[in-house]
Homo-oligomer: A and B are copies of this chain.
Amino acid sequence: MEKKPNRRRFLKDGALLASMAVGSLQTASGKNLEAESEEIRPKDLHAYGERSRFESSKRTGALGTWPQPTSPPDYHKDFGFRTPLQDSVGIVTPVSLHYIVSHGYEPPDIDPREHQLLIHGMVDRPLIFTLEDLRRLPSMTRTYFVECNGNSAPTGPTGAIRRGPSANAQDTHGLTSSSLWTGVPLSLLFKQAGVRQGASWIVAEGAEKGKHSKSLPLEKALDDMLVVYAQNGEAIQPEQGYPLRLLAPGWEGINNVKWLRRIKVVDKPYMAMRETSKYPSLRLDGKARWFQFQMGPKSVITRPSGGQKLDGPGFYEISGLAWSGGGSIRNIEVSTDGGRSWKDAEIQGPVHRKSHTRFGLAWEWDGQETVLQSRCTDETGEVQPSVAEVAAFWRVQPDFFQKTETVVGHFNAIQPWKVNRDGSVENAIAF
C-alpha cells in the first residue's frame, strides 16, 4: 500500500533533496551548510554592505607551498597570501585584501568576550585585560604598514614567483599592506603594570594552536608599539589577529603577533622558534643574524605594472607606493627611460611615518619600448638601492640572488617594469 506522505516525512525528504539540489554546499572549513543555516541566509546589504559583483580583486597565494628548510621538517606548513597592489589606490589596504602570512594555522575562532591579555614577568603588578578593559583606555589610531621580511625577495619560494617576466606587483611586492590601526599604546599598559629595573626585552605570544612567540626589545615596546583591536575603523579580521594584535611599526611582519594573549617582560631575548629556525637573516660568513627588525626604504610602481596593458600612446599617470621602517618618506624619484634620468614624483599626501605613501608622476608615453622604475629616500636619508648596490653590499655577484636557495630577507632593490610596444608591461628585474 502506498503510504500517504505525512508532514514530518515530507520535511525530512525535503531537507535531503534540498542538500542535493543546491550541490556541495560546504564551507572552506568543511562544515556542511545544511547544519549552519546562518551561513546561507541571504545577506542584508542594508545592514552590512558588500562590494559589487563586478569587483574581483583578490589575494593570491597557496596553502603549504613554502618549502620547509628545517630538518626534520616543520610540523606544520606555512602559507602566504599576497595583496593585489596593482589594484591599489591611496595608501590604505582594504582589510579584506590585507596580505596574510601564517605559520600553518587558520585563524582561531576566538570569542572576544572570553579573550584576555596577560601582562606579567618583570612587572610590579601582573595584569589581565579584557577587550572591554582595553576599550576603556585612551585609544590611538595610526596608519602603519606591515610587511613580511621576505617581501620582494629574489630568492626562495617568494623569489620563484618574483623572477619571471609575467610577475605582477602582487607577486613581487604583495606581502606589504597599510592600515589605520586603532588600539592602546603598549607603554600605557606597561605603566599600569610597572616595569621593573633590569627588564630589557618582552616576549609576546599568540593564542593560535602554534602559540607563535616573539622576542622584542623593551625600548621599542615603550616607543611606538600598540596593542590594536581595530583596523580601518572596525574589528581586526580573523586573518589579521582578531580580536587583538601587537603592532611593531616599521618592523618585520612576524613581530606583529596576531591573536595576542600574553606579553612577558624579561631581561633577555627568548630565542623562540621563529627566531632561530627561519627568520634570522643570512650573514656574509654563512651564519645568521638573529635579530634584524627594521624594514628598509622600498617603493614599487603599481600602475602601470606587470600584467597591465597600456591602451596606446598618450597620457598616463604613473602611480606607486613607497614606505620605510625608518620613518616617513622624504622623496621619490621615477625614471621612465630605463634609469638614464630621474624626476621627482609628486608625493600625494597624507604622508605618515612608517606608512605606505602614494606617489604620482604625469607621463606621456610615446609608444616606444621603455623601462619604468622608482626609488625612494626616507627621513633618515637612506636611499632605496639598485640590484647592483644590494649585491655590492652583500659582496656577491648579482646572480647570487638567482642561485641561492636561502630566502634573502630585507631585499629592497629598485623594481623595474618593462613597457613593450604593444603596451604590455612585464617584470624586468635582472640579476
**Which residues of A are in contact with B by a Cβ distance under 8 Å?**
2, 11, 13-15, 17-18, 20-23, 25-28, 33-34, 37-55, 57-61, 63, 79, 81, 87-98, 100, 109-113, 132, 135-141, 143, 180, 182, 229-230, 232-235, 237-240, 242-243, 303, 311, 314-317, 319, 348, 350, 352, 358, 360, 362
Contacts and interface: CB of A to CB of B under 8 A. Distances in A.
A52 B235 contact: yes
A25 B48 contact: no
Query: What 10 A-B pairs are tightest by C-beta distance, nearest first?
Result: A18-B21, A90-B141, A14-B21, A47-B58, A18-B18, A14-B17, A89-B182, A94-B234, A49-B96, A92-B233
Nearest to A349: B141
A31 to B, nearest CB: 9
Given A26-B42, A37-B23, A319 B234 contact: no
Given A20-B14, A52-B238, A25 B40 contact: yes
B360 A141 contact: no
A105 B55 CA distance: 21
Contact of A17 (B18, B52, B59, B63): B18
Given A14-B17, A94-B232, A140-B348, 12 more contacts: A14-B21, A15-B21, A33-B42, A49-B97, A52-B110, A52-B235, A89-B234, A91-B180, A94-B233, A96-B234, A138-B362, A143-B350
A46 to B, nearest CB: 5
A98 B311 CA distance: 35
A314 B133 CA distance: 11
A49 to B, nearest CB: 4
A54 B132 contact: no
A243 B52 contact: yes
B237 A50 contact: yes
Contacts of A100: 46
Given A49-B95, A96-B50, A136-B316, A90 B180 contact: yes
Nearest to A362: B138
A151 B44 CA distance: 23
Stoichiometry, as copies per complex, reads 2
Contact of A57 (B45, B52, B96, B234): B234
Contact of A358 (B141, B232, B235, B239): B141
Contacts of A317: 136-139
Contact of A141 (B89, B98, B136, B314): B89
Contacts of A95: 49, 94
A23 B319 CA distance: 49
A48 B234 contact: no
Interface centre among A20, A92, A230, A360 (most CB of B within 10 A): A92
B233 A88 contact: yes
9 contacts: A14-B17, A14-B20, A18-B22, A47-B81, A48-B97, A49-B59, A52-B235, A136-B314, A350-B352
Contacts of A143: 350
Contacts of A242: 51-52
A146 B223 CA distance: 35
A41 B43 CA distance: 13
A49 B47 CA distance: 18
A317 B133 CA distance: 11
A65 B319 CA distance: 45
Nearest to A310: B136
B40 A360 contact: no
Contacts of A350: 143, 350, 352
A22 B350 CA distance: 49
Given A28-B42, A40-B25, A89-B139, A234 B54 contact: no
A110 to B, nearest CB: 8
A381 B65 CA distance: 59
Contacts of A61: 46
A89 B233 contact: yes
A291 to B, nearest CB: 30
A55 B136 contact: no
Nearest to A10: B17
Nearest to A102: B46
Contacts of A230: 89-90
